[in-house]
Amino acid sequence: MLKFGAPFGTTLFVCTHQRPEGHPKPCCGQRGGPQLREELRQMVRDEGLDGQVKVFASGCLGMCERGPAALRFPDGQYMLGIQTEDLPAIFEELTGE
């Protein structure tokens, strides 16, 4: 096993988990998680920050009833109920701008 520090400073994991049709519990995949992740990734790319900030898809992060959810590292901030209008503020937090 190899271990080393990540080559980028900030990482955001956005839940894109998809539950089977008819499942009683909600999921971020059906609440816009994939689209939110893609919009944030594009914002990072547009600013040329892809080498410093990463926005990854993740499996279930829990709190499904309050999703879409995301988890930011290295500080471990948990974000719930993310909407499109939240993306500029999230981007600023990710990039420090």
Any domain includes 84: yes
**Average pLDDT score, the chain:** 93
CA distances, 58 to each of 16, 27, 45, 74 (Å)? 6, 12, 19, 16
Any domain includes 51: yes
Residue scoring higher pLDDT (1 or 97): 1
Number of domain units in the chain: 1
Domain that holds residue 22: 10-95
Q: What is the pTM of this model?
A: 0.91
With a cut of 80, say whether residue 97 has pLDDT above it: no
CA distance 18 to 6: 27
What CATH number is attached to the domain comprising 25? Answer: 3.40.30.10
